[in-house]
Amino acid sequence: MTTVTIPILASLFSLTVVAAQDVGPVRKLPLVRIVETSIDLHPSGITATSCISIQSNGRFHLETRLQQLPRRQAVLHIYEATLDAFQLSRLESMVDAQAVREASAYKGPKLPLVVPTVANVRIDISRADRVQTVGYFAWNQQPGTDGLSPESTREALKEEWRSSRRALTPLVGWFHEVEGMRWPELDESHSTLCGDPSTED
């Protein structure tokens, strides 16, 4: 199996950084922002990126992008709606879990990466006094890449990723449930890379 360097990861991490920034002083930071990406660069591999930004009142903005090689363009879907009280309560309970509160601050891998398949999750949570950023990075191990990133990542950081993945599994699962529901869809002009959702109900 041939491994390849993944230049697209630079764009991926740029997306997570942009999505995590406050878009302006007059806008309120979302309660939670989740960005999940999986990349498979095999001949018919699929790259999928999903993000969601949820306000404290349950209003959210959701985007999904899906690209299957050899196609050059991704298919984009954008949704905005409001979570019901039960969904919002579940989310609040998950982000308040001790394992999530104690999760290590997210640190990404060193670029470039020399593996064909990777997965990355980054979650920003608004706390009373700060924004907590957590997440993890995962990949399929490849022979002969021990001295290259991500295999060369120090063991302490690899363990942080593993621990964070365990802590964040319920929250990521909740995100997948929301993704699978039917929501009002918007056209592509409403893409914000999961900045603040509209304040309209």
Predicted confidence band of residue 148 (pLDDT cuts 50, 70, 90): confident
pLDDT at 95: 97
Looking at the predicted structure, is the pLDDT value of residue 21 above 70?
no
Across residues 73-88, what is the average pLDDT? 96
pLDDT at 116: 87
pLDDT at 200: 44
Alpha-carbon distance of 117 to 124, in angstroms, equals 24
Q: Which residue has the tokens 């954008």?
A: 78
Q: Which residue has the tokens 């929301």?
A: 178
Give the amino acid at 111.
Answer: L
Buried b (16+ CB within 10 A) or exposed e, 152-161: ebeeebbebb
Helix (H, G, I), strand (E, B) or coil at 44: coil
Contacts of 66 (CB under 8 A, 6+ apart): 46, 47, 48, 74, 75
Share of the chain above pLDDT 90, in %: 69
Across residues 162-169, what is the average pLDDT? 97
Share of the chain above pLDDT 70, in %: 82
Alpha-carbon distance of 53 to 31, in angstroms, equals 8
Domains of the chain: 8-21+28-186 (3.30.1560)
Tokens encoding 164: 């964070």
| 7 class by beta-carbon count within 10 Å (0-12 exposed, 13-18 middle, 19+ buried) | exposed
Neighbour count for residue 72 (Cβ, 10 Å):
6
pLDDT at 89: 97
Give the amino acid at 147.
Answer: G
Contact status, residue 41 vs residue 114, Cβ threshold 8 Å: no
Buried b (16+ CB within 10 A) or exposed e, 10-43: eebbebbeebbeeeeeeeebbbbbbbbbbbbbee
Predicted confidence band of residue 151 (pLDDT cuts 50, 70, 90): confident
Across residues 182-200, what is the average pLDDT? 80
pLDDT at 29: 83
Looking at the predicted structure, is the pLDDT value of residue 149 above 60?
yes
Alpha-carbon distance of 181 to 176, in angstroms, equals 9
Mean pLDDT score across all residues of the chain: 85
Across residues 156-173, what is the average pLDDT? 97
Q: Which residue has the tokens 């109900």?
A: 201
Contact status, residue 4 vs residue 114, Cβ threshold 8 Å: yes
Phi, psi of 123 (to 5 degrees): -130, 130
Phi, psi of 163 (to 5 degrees): -65, -40
Least confident of 3-7, 108-112, 157-161: 3-7
pLDDT at 14: 43
